Amino acid sequence: MGDEDLNIGDLCQQLDTEGMIGFTESFVSDIEAGFSAVNEEHLPWLAGIKMGNWKGVLCLGMGGSAAGGDFLARLADADGSKPIIVHRGYQLPSWWTKDWLILATSHSGNTEETVAATESALKQGATAIVIATGGILAGLCELHNDCHLISSTGGQPPRTAFGHLFSRQLALIEQIGILPTQQLEAREAMMVRLEYACQSNDFRKPSGAPLLDLAMALMDHPIALLGPNEMQPVLVRFKNQLNENSGRFARIGIVPEMNHNEIVAWGGLSDDADPERSNQATLFLTWDAMHQRVRSRIDWMIEHTPTDFAWKIHGEGTSLLEALLHHCIVMDWLTIALAFVHGKDPSAIRPIQALKAYLADDASV
């Protein structure tokens, strides 16, 4: 599809069957609502959680519902008092003990892996906090005195509910003192800047034209996403959004680790032997407070990458939190735009639905 054939308004109307654009527009207000929902006035049981001498937090979840745990883990690495570890799967890690707080997140409340791991933890005497819109997970809170519910907002696909889920997760972790509480004035200023970013990256507006151009440029190229350790959560979420929204594969490289192995493959073969390498579109995700040596490594890679299709996407903001959220805004708009230029409904996830149906039939046998 060339620029002359592209009518983005028509594509939005034809392909956006479940209102993905609307959910993306509300990202910042979703975060604000989530922050407001988590306090002792609304959740009196928080006082007891604050008094717990936790070794750390084990976040249970899958897919988009697990993404917030990855963000929390990196924030805790940078500025936390206790470790936060994400676990995806049916079983608990063997090292887990009941002095680790369980944070189980499932947008639907019915993610079978998360339900199984949470039930196992409760049987072993866990204190668990559930973030869900309902479902089996929410029901566990009625059956166990040490299982508490933070209700989230439903009516949308899980990957669009990140603002709802992550803000509740972050507010909880701040409330119990594992992460420092952001000052109200600083938070309000951050939200204003994020809302500006959300509006200015809307590809339907003139200000969003560069993002639409980038989507067009990515159409015919394999995609690689590279960035520093602190950006690992957004790299993973970016890949997942490309998978679900755009129906596209993407590979991830973390700097500096990939400089010690994967970098050889980038320059190890001739273009004739590996034509995909020179045709690869590479997006470098950065932020202001990168380690200087990591910054130098990325600058070197940008200069020497064996492709003409490389872009830097910078996470704006005065903190790691803001840079991470800024990247989320850009990736959501970009992956929806890429879906449209491919002629794909960004809400369509038929393979996931087919697998769930198969598993449901298999469980009933």
What is the pTM (predicted TM-score) of this model? 0.94
* Contact yes or no for 102/129 (Cβ under 8 A): yes
* Contact yes or no for 57/100 (Cβ under 8 A): yes
Give the tokens for residue 289: 């407070």
Using pLDDT thresholds of 50, 70 and 90, give the confidence band for residue 51.
Answer: confident
Sheet architecture: strand order including 147-151: 84-87, 56-60, 100-106, 128-132, 147-151
With a cut of 70, say whether residue 274 has pLDDT above it.
no
Per-residue confidence (pLDDT) for residue 264, from 0 to 100: 87
Structure confidence by residue, pLDDT tens digits, 135-194: 999 999 999 999 999 999 999 999 999 999 999 999 999 999 999 999 999 999 999 999
With a cut of 80, say whether residue 348 has pLDDT above it.
yes
For residues 265-293, b (16+ Cβ closer than 10 Å) or e, as one string?
ebeeeeeeeeeebbebbbbbbbbeebeee
Q: Which fold has domain 20-181?
A: Rossmann fold (3.40.50)
With a cut of 80, say whether residue 223 has pLDDT above it.
yes
Structure confidence by residue, pLDDT tens digits, 14-47: 999 999 999 999 999 999 999 999 999 999 999 9
Determine what percent of the chain is predicted with pLDDT higher than 70.
95
In angstroms, the first-to-last Cα distance of the chain is 47
Using pLDDT thresholds of 50, 70 and 90, give the confidence band for residue 353.
Answer: confident
Number of other CB atoms surrounding residue 83 within 10 Å? 15
Domain 205-341 class? alpha beta
Structure confidence by residue, pLDDT tens digits, 242-257: 999 999 999 999 999 9
- Which residues belong to CATH 3.40.50.10490 in the chain? 20-181, 205-341
